[in-house]
Structure 1
Amino acid sequence: MADTDDVINTGDLFQDPDGFYEPEKEPTFAEHRMRSGDTVRGDLLWNAGRTSAHYIEERAAELIQGKDVLEIGAAAGVPSVVSAIKGARVTVMTDYPDPDLVDNMRFNAGLSAAMIPANSTLHVDGYKWGNSVEPLLAYLPPNSAGFDVLIMADVVYSHREHPNLIKTMQQTLKKTREAVALVIFTPYEPWLLPKTEKFFPLAEENGFQVTKMFEKLMDAVLFENDQGDEKLRRTVFGYEIRWAEDQLK
């Protein structure tokens, strides 16, 4: 595995020409209803965030309770809020360190504060992928070796950031067989799906094992006027990424 202090060398693989991407979509606003019946505010909520939150809630007993959780690229942070509600020991909700984004995350977290049990803490911070992770690890209890769960919903669409995402995974995911990164996304621009999927072999080249868990077809597309295959635009893909066995020796 590459030294985690080094930049992963991918040559020009992830360099895209100017104008290659369409402008980023405006997020939607909604409320997320948990399986328990509780409601969490879903400002900036997309399908991958909803699906991640349900996935976490359904598996909370083994996946979340008493564990330390980091969400990368959180936007609304609904999966983080659900993790805290379901008993994570520490949850850290992060997105790009833009003041408006961070304020939005703090606002959403504050709305659900009354539902979070006393033995669970939820933190909000700005974080740029690939930067030093020391500020994130500082939220963990003393002598902790990393996070048990990473939540990565709708982040792999940013192809040029794949190396930085993997670097962040390497430096934050606890080196145990149980530790897992949840990578869940929808190809809103289906013609770019092959580039998006290159994230997974790159992860395998850098010390991880990848398991595809599900494809979930949503009832409707999120953005009605988008182009490309409608079924793909309605589909949420879910992967679990863990440390490869040879990294645990």
Structure 2
Amino acid sequence: MSEAPKNSDESDTDVLLGGIFGNNDYEEPVIKGHLVKFYTMLGMPIDIHLIGKSPLYGHILTNACKYIAKYLEKNMDTLVKDRTVIEFGSGGALPSILCAKLGASMALATDYPDPELVNNIEYNIKMNKIQNNCKSLGFIWGNDISDILSLISGPPVERKTFDTIILSDVIFNHTEHYKLLKTCKQLITPKTGKVLVAFTPHRPHLLDADLSFFQKAQEQPYNFKLDFIEMVHYSPLFKDDKDESTREIRSRVYMYILYT
């Protein structure tokens, strides 16, 4: 097996999202990536390599990601098996890789087109030996979807939509809500497709801005219908945050489903 992709000193995402996670006016040391082993409910292990750092949480297997993986496994017959699946903001791409292993006809893991992020997804796909029904792609929300469609169109079936769309801990990027909704609307299979949205309010003071995604989703021109599934608690993800007044909020994982 080839070596895990090495971390670059700086990526485009560091520049684009510096306003969210802080500007780096000095040269930071390169942080090595690491391997995480995730177990399905049936005990099947899945190895996920995570990059060393990312302002987009691509270096972390978040609680929302773990939750949505379990949800997909519980509902594999209706959301995964023989379905086309796409994930946005994939990070290590655990949900996409799980879907491929559970029998998706095609699982497409996408993230911001930073070489480090996309190369790492490709590495995880190869490591888990699912190249036949799992692909990776760098994609910016709201952009032309031709490259996406090219990966699910072809013999024996011509597809132009996805049955299941996965959004795991991505709606913190509030300025991109409309672009993300545009892409979801373009790609969802009408009437039967589902958009799974799981997230944790990592910045509790911006919870209302996180939740505004769902209000926007129901408005023109998107007109999604909305089901709130549940809110559960995990241990807070960032252990260095010692603010006990926000601990409960930071431990939440919300789950919603959008559909047309």
Q: Fold-level match, TM-score > 0.5?
A: yes
**Where do residues 123-202 of structure 1 align in structure 2 (5 Å cutoff)?**
123-142=135-154, 143-175=158-190, 177-202=191-216
Match of 1:108 among 124, 144, 147: 124
Correspondence for 2:55: none
Correspondence for 1:38: 44
Q: Deviations over 1:36-94 (max 9, x none)?
A: 21111232311111111111011101211000000000000000000000000011000
Q: CA deviation at 1:30?
A: 2.7
Correspondence for 1:121: 133
Match of 2:72 among 38, 42, 56: 56
Q: Which runs of 4+ in 1 moved over 4 A?
A: 26-29
Identical aligned residues as a percent: 29
- Does the alignment pair 1:203 with 2:217? yes
The 2-side partners of 1:145 and 1:67 are apart by: 12
Retained in 2: the 8 A contact 1:150–1:180?
A: yes
> Taking structure 1 as reference, are residues 127 and 19 closer, same or farther at Cα in structure 2, changes over 3 Å only?
closer
SS at match of 1:229: helix
CA RMSD of superposed structures (Å): 2.1
The 2-side partners of 1:123 and 1:82 are apart by: 13
Retained in 2: the 8 A contact 1:28–1:46?
A: no
**Equivalent position amino acid for 1:179 in 2:** G
Q: CA deviation at 1:152?
A: 0.5
Q: Deviations over 1:108-155 (max 9, x none)?
A: 111111xx4x9x610011111111111101111343230000000011
- Does the alignment pair 1:21 with 2:20? yes
Q: CA deviation at 1:157?
A: 0.4
SS at match of 1:187: coil
- Does the alignment pair 1:239 with 2:256? yes
Alignment gaps of 5+ in structure 2: 1-16, 24-30, 51-58
Correspondence for 1:246: none
- The number of residue pairs the alignment matches comes to 219
**Equivalent position amino acid for 2:175 in 1:** R
Higher relative contact order (CA 8 A, sep 6+): 1
Q: CA deviation at 1:22?
A: 3.8
> Taking structure 1 as reference, are residues 98 and 19 closer, same or farther at Cα in structure 2, changes over 3 Å only?
closer
The 2-side partners of 1:155 and 1:28 are apart by: 22
SS at match of 2:205: helix
SS at match of 1:106: helix
> Taking structure 1 as reference, are residues 29 and 185 closer, same or farther at Cα in structure 2, changes over 3 Å only?
farther
SS at match of 2:109: strand
The 2-side partners of 1:57 and 1:145 are apart by: 25
The 1-side partners of 2:112 and 2:164 are apart by: 19
Alignment gaps of 5+ in structure 1: 1-17, 244-249
TM normalised by structure 2 equals: 0.79
Retained in 1: the 8 A contact 2:153–2:160?
A: no
Retained in 1: the 8 A contact 2:169–2:198?
A: yes
Correspondence for 2:53: none
Retained in 1: the 8 A contact 2:200–2:252?
A: yes
Retained in 2: the 8 A contact 1:94–1:124?
A: yes
